[in-house]
Copies of this chain bind each other. A is one copy, B any other.
Amino acid sequence: MINKIAKTASEAVADIFDGATIMISGFGEAGSPIELIHALIDQGARNLTVVSNNTGNGHIGLAALIENKQVRKMICSFPRTANSVVFPELYRKGEIELELVPQGTLAERIRAGGAGIPAFFTPTSVNTPLAEGKEIRLFNGKPYVMEYGLKADFALVKCKIADRYGNLLFNKTARNFGPIMCMAAKSAIVQAAEIVELGGIDPEIVITPGIFVKKVVEITNPVSENQLISENRRYPW
């Protein structure tokens, strides 16, 4: 029998190793797998490369992982947001590395990594500092920059509904990077607000097919990042 269900977040993240590359879903507060990240803080893997659109907010979730010095390098498109305090401080001190990637290029690189495409050409960033040192090539007289597919050892993803095969449904704009990160990671680890019986998800509406998912764990009432930040909470609690 196929059963991808882990009993706890700790069990789900147990295999993450020092030096791993980890993709973390979310766009701002939407879709960030806070419970899985906190389990990773408890677990303690270090020297991580994290691929995520932002760098976390306040002192919880991804920001707490960074604050706990587990992250060596961030690959992201927008490292500073209104409530981002941890990353900017470490970055200014030279204690964390940053690879800045335009958001669409980041998404396409992740999708390419998952789809077996080692490299592709995009018009994005041509004639800007972010294209410096990269290969430029003309197609139909227009310049494009070559970008590489991006893979990861693990993905930490938040979704709404899952089944034991790993089929996933997401919630509104919390979908964002989740589906493509599941594709690009060797082991996608997913927290779902609900795990349903096989057959409980209509095959026509599955967003992430189970083939892309390694483990699912039910986190029934995930914390609200916004609320924790308004309460000035820090992890570890």
Contact = CB atoms under 8 A, between A and B. Distances in A.
A123 B121 CA distance: 16
Contact of A118 (B119, B144, B172): B144
A172 B206 CA distance: 12
Nearest to A140: B118
A120 interface: yes
A121 B122 contact: no
A231 B144 CA distance: 52
A137 B119 CA distance: 10
A173 to B, nearest CB: 10
Interface stretch (A94-102, A109-117, A181-189, A213-221): A109-117
Contacts of A169: 204
Interface string A146-169: 001000000000000000000001
Most chain B beta carbons < 10 A, residue from A108, A120, A122, A139: A120
Contacts of A205: 202, 204-205
Interface of A: 108, 112, 115-123, 137, 139-140, 142, 144, 148, 169-172, 202-205
Contacts of A116: 122-123
A139 to B, nearest CB: 4
A226 to B, nearest CB: 22
Given A169-B204, A204-B205, A118 B121 contact: yes
Contacts of A118: 121, 139-140, 142, 144
A156 B26 CA distance: 36
The list of the 10 closest CB pairs from A to B, nearest first, reads: A118-B139, A120-B120, A205-B205, A119-B121, A117-B120, A118-B121, A118-B144, A119-B139, A117-B122, A117-B121
Contacts of A115: 108
B120 A119 contact: yes
10 contacts: A112-B120, A116-B123, A117-B122, A118-B139, A118-B144, A119-B120, A119-B121, A172-B203, A172-B204, A204-B205
A139 B116 CA distance: 12
A120 B119 CA distance: 6
Contacts of A122: 116-117
A169 B204 CA distance: 9
A202 B202 CA distance: 13
